[in-house]
Amino acid sequence: MSVFLIVLSCITLAFASGAVYYIRLLSQAASYPPKRIIRQKALVCSTGTAFTLCLIFFTKLLA
């Protein structure tokens, strides 16, 4: 169970760092890549972070 939580924590960190990266990239004034693509990537990373945090929470709740 402990290894599972460590893996989920690493996945959460990867998604969170990706979300922060794409949100910072979204705030810059570059025209390429298109803003909608960056917004989609930031949304996917944020959703992945939230999903894995929910998995960690419910795993700890049930254990």
Q: Considering the domain boundaries, does residue 9 fall inside one?
A: no
Q: Considering the domain boundaries, does residue 6 fall inside one?
A: no
pLDDT in tens, 9-50: 999 999 999 999 999 999 887 778 899 999 999 999 999 999
For residue 58, pLDDT over 90 is answered with yes
Q: Considering the domain boundaries, does residue 50 fall inside one?
A: yes
pTM: 0.86
Measure the CA–CA gap between 49 and 30, rounded to whole angstroms: 26
Count of structural domains within the chain: 1
- Which sign, positive or negative, has the C-alpha torsion 54, 57, 62, 63? positive
Note down the domain range covering 51: 16-62
